[in-house]
Amino acid sequence: MSRLFKIGYGYDSHRFLNEEEKNLIHQQEQVEVKTEFYSKDKKLIIGGVELDEKYQKLYGPFKARSDGDVLYHAVVNALLSAIGDKDKRDIGKVFPNTDSKNSNRNSADFMQETAQMIKSSDYELLDLKLMVKGQPRVDWSKVEKNLLDFFSFQSIAPDIHVQATSGEEMDGAGNGLGVEVFVVALLQHKNLLLSGV
């Protein structure tokens, strides 16, 4: 018998490039190693929102193979956790950072593919709750809308809410070295929607 509800938990973190890595990009235009890709064109993006020039200059992009959108990555992890396919248990399995085709790849692609997995399942996304820890300030209402757009196929729109905290200088994210994102996702069986329960 199928479960009526499924819960997924997701987490991801990315640090910003350090000064040595930033200098390397300025010298070589782009740098590609086993699990990372950086270039002069790489932007600082969180939840599909490109941060303004102030934050671009202060922090630069995330250290990552893709565009490094840590928020989308954490959401993908939460959704994959809820789906529960052991062959696709996390973002590293589905979109490996060792694959060069993911170099500077838009993380919206990861979100879109994962949302399609939900669409083809017996479930719909009911709730998505996020906690972002770090220094950059983002218009979280834009992020919530971006996330909602991935689930426009659903009969009922999911409830999506993003909270943020600075971390109060207590760890790496709190000291401006990177960003951490924690996510809980709740899926509801489509039969419940049809029954009106």
Q: What is the DSSP string of 39-91?
A: ETT---EETTEEPPHHHHHHH--BSSSS---HHHHHHHHHHHHHH--GGG-SH
Give residue-wise pLDDT tens across range 3-57.
899 999 999 999 998 888 777 776 766 666 655 666 667 889 999 999 988 888 8
State the pLDDT at residue 153. 96
Residue ranges of domains in the chain, CATH in brackets: 5-195 (3.30.1330.50)
State the pLDDT at residue 42. 80
Quote the pTM value. Answer: 0.90
* Percent of the chain's residues with pLDDT above 70: 88
Alpha-carbon distance of 64 to 38, in angstroms, equals 8
pLDDT of 162 above 80: yes
* E strand map for the chain: 5-15, 30-32, 37-39, 45-46, 49-50, 123-133, 159-165, 178-189
Angstrom CA distances, 48 to 39, 121, 150, 197, stand at 19, 25, 11, 34
State the pLDDT at residue 87. 78
State the pLDDT at residue 1. 56
Is 92 buried (19+), middle (13-18) or exposed (0-12) by CB count in 10 A?
A: middle
Give residue-wise pLDDT tens across range 94-118.
887 777 776 768 899 999 999 999 9
CB 67 within 8 A of CB 45: yes
pLDDT of 85 above 90: no
Alpha-carbon distance of 29 to 23, in angstroms, equals 10
Which residue has tokens 């979280």? Answer: 140
Phi then psi dihedrals of residue 134, to 5 deg: 165, 180
pLDDT of 197 above 60: no
CB 153 within 8 A of CB 146: no
pLDDT of 196 above 80: no
CB 162 within 8 A of CB 130: yes
pLDDT of 2 above 80: no
Q: Which two tokens stand for residue 43?
A: 């932007």
With the CA atoms of 79, 85, 86 and 90 taken in that order, what torsion angle do they form, in degrees rounded to the nearest 10? Answer: -20
